[in-house]
């Protein structure tokens, strides 16, 4: 059995996708449907994502509208948005909730950049843990005589190279997001 970096690349890809999702939830100065993705609502006896009880749209660059399907949930949805960490102030109009997206203060922008930095650091840790898992597998395979010393060295180099590429991708994503957040 030969060692393959494919499974480790897949795991690293998943970490990167997760980071992208987390970044989508971070507020820049513009309204976006993905901004409300992390919001969950207490509905029908359990917590459900906001998009499962409503239709979310962005009619203007600074406004998100949430059309709640079940009118009895309107106040619950409004509270869920208000109590999320997004700093939004929703207003109810029938079963439509208007969510104006205010300009971000410089202080708030810097806070959001710190959160983005934490997300990217967590992702890097995840990628490094995946690398360690791979290195452990290589050592075990060598110990069990399934890999020669040369193959083991070559696979370690390959895995390290893969890790470096992912760390670079994470840094690039963060730099892009930081620029986006700080842009006034």
pLDDT (tens digit, 9 = 90+) per residue, 111-157? 889 989 999 999 999 999 999 999 999 999 999 999 899 999 999 99
Q: Are 38 and 23 in contact (CB under 8 A)?
A: no
6-23+105-182: what CATH class? mainly alpha
Question: Alpha-carbon distance 159 to 164, whole Å?
Answer: 9
Q: Tell me the C-alpha distance between 131 and 125, whole Å.
A: 10
CATH classification for the domain delimited by 30-100, as one of 1.20.140.10, 2.40.50.100, 3.90.950.10, 3.30.1360.40: 3.30.1360.40
Residues of the chain with CATH 1.10.132.20: 6-23+105-182
The 10s digit of each residue's pLDDT in 85-106 is: 777 889 999 889 999 888 878 8
For the full predicted model, state whether its pTM sits above 0.85.
no
Q: Which residues make up the CATH 3.30.1360.40 domain(s) of the chain?
A: 30-100
């Amino acid at each position: 059995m030969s060692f393959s970096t494919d499974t480790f690349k897949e795991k690293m890809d998943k970490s990167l996708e997760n980071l992208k999702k987390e970044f989508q939830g971070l507020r820049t100065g513009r309204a976006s449907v993905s901004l409300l993705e992390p919001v969950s609502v207490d509905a029908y006896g359990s917590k459900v994502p906001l998009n499962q009880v409503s239709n979310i749209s962005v009619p203007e660059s600074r406004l998100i509208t949430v059309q709640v399907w079940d009118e009895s949930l309107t106040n619950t949805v409004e509270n869920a948005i208000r109590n999320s960490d997004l700093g939004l102030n929703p207003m109810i109009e029938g079963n439509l909730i208007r969510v104006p997206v205010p300009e971000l203060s410089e202080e708030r922008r810097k806070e959001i950049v710190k959160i983005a930095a934490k997300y990217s650091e967590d992702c890097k840790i995840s990628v490094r843990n995946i690398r360690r898992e791979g290195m452990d597998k290589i050592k075990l395979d060598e110990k069990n005589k399934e890999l020669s010393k040369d193959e083991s060295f070559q696979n370690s180099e390959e895995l390290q190279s893969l890790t470096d590429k992912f760390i670079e991708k994470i840094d690039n994503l963060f730099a892009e997001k930081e620029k986006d957040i700080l842009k006034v």
